[in-house]
Amino acid sequence: MLLMGASTGAAMSCLVVFLTIAVLAIAWLSGHFTAMRAIEKGRSSRAWFAWGALLFPLFPLPWVILTLLPTK
C-alpha cells in the first residue's frame, strides 16, 4: 500500500493525483519544446505551445509538422 493504515480509496486518490501531476509536467515540457522549435521557424510560440501540449502522446508529430512548414 502507498499509505500505511489508510483505506484503499485514499491510496488510489493519492496515486491518481501523483499520475496527473506527472502527465501535466510531461505535457508542459512537450509544449515548451514545440514552442521553442516554432520560434526557430518564425511561428507563434503560444499557438504551437498549445498544440505541443495537447498532442504530447504523439510528441514528434508537432515537430514533424513544423519541419515541413516553410519559415515565415
Taking only the tens place, the pLDDT of each residue in 31-51 is: 999 999 999 999 999 999 999
Specify if 56 maps to a domain. Answer: yes
Q: Quick check: is 4 in a domain?
A: no
Range of the domain at 67: 24-72
Distance CA(48)–CA(54), nearest Å, equals 10
**Structural domain includes residue 18:** no
pTM attached to this predicted model: 0.78
pLDDT score, position 4: 64
pLDDT at 2: 54
| Domain membership flag for residue 46 | yes
d(CA 38, CA 46): 9
Find cell 508542459 and name the residue: 28
pLDDT at position 49 is 95
Query: Average pLDDT of 44-63?
Result: 90
Residue 3 above 90 pLDDT?
A: no
* % residues pLDDT > 70 (the chain): 92
Asked whether residue 66 is assigned to any structural domain, the reply reads yes
In a domain, 1, yes or no: no
In a domain, 42, yes or no: yes
What is the tally of structural domains in the chain? 1
